[in-house]
């Protein structure tokens, strides 16, 4: 059976993205280049540049192609447990092996490449933020949160400490740290009698 040109193109794209992740893990993002990816993937630089404007754009597509499970919220009825489970999964993805260093590099690259920043926000950060706000809204509607609590601000407060450690202090981003953040946050979020 002969493959269609579209399937061959999709196979080539998948091979390039897989190569990007493998090479990025081996040599780090700083040493990654479009030329090195092209050479290892058996593609031309022109092929890569036709599909991706920069190595940051290529890394973004490569990481998002992983379709990592576990970043959806459980709805157990226990908001703290649901937040904890989802944030643990995010921490494991963003800070742990095998791709944590590449996710960190991508967020750093977004600070210098506006197109990468926009795409990262549209395709990863905003959808995750929307899921968090939806979960918080459901909890508020069920009386688990103060009725006047600012859900968007809560989302910023939840994510800020993660990115602070991930990008600024580079201290370990651990489940124990997440527990501390949630304990402090819930002290201010819960309804008052």
At residue 4, the pLDDT reads 58
For tokens 């489940």, name the residue.
175
pLDDT above 70 (res 5):
no
Phi, psi angles (nearest 5°) of residue 170: 55, 25
Spatial separation of the C-alpha atoms in residues 74 and 128, rounded to whole Å? 13
pTM: predicted TM-score of the whole model, two decimal places: 0.84
CB 144 within 8 A of CB 189: no
Q: Give the tens place of pLDDT for each residue, 64-112.
A: 998 765 578 888 989 999 999 999 998 988 888 899 999 999 999 999 9
At residue 186, the pLDDT reads 80
pLDDT above 80 (res 35):
yes
- Structural domains of the chain ordered from first start: 5-54 (1.10.10.60), 79-189 (1.10.357.10)
At residue 147, the pLDDT reads 87
């Amino acid at each position: 059976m002969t493959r269609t040109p579209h399937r061959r193109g999709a196979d080539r794209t998948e091979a390039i993205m897989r190569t990007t992740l493998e090479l990025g893990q081996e040599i780090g993002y700083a040493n990654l280049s479009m030329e090195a990816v092209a050479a290892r993937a058996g593609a031309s630089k022109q092929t890569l540049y036709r599909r991706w404007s920069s190595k940051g754009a290529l890394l973004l597509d490569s990481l998002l192609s992983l379709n990592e499970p576990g970043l959806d919220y459980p709805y157990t009825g226990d908001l703290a447990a649901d937040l904890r489970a989802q944030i643990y999964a995010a921490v494991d993805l963003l800070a742990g092996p095998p791709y944590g260093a590449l996710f960190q590099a991508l967020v750093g690259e977004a600070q210098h490449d506006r197109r990468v920043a926009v795409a990262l926000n549209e395709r990863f950060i905003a959808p995750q933020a929307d899921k968090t706000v939806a979960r918080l809204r459901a909890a508020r509607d069920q009386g688990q949160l103060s009725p006047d609590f600012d859900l968007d601000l809560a989302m910023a407060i939840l994510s800020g400490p993660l990115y602070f450690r991930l990008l600024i202090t580079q201290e370990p981003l651990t489940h124990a740290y997440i527990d501390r953040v949630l304990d402090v946050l819930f002290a201010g979020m819960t309804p008052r009698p």
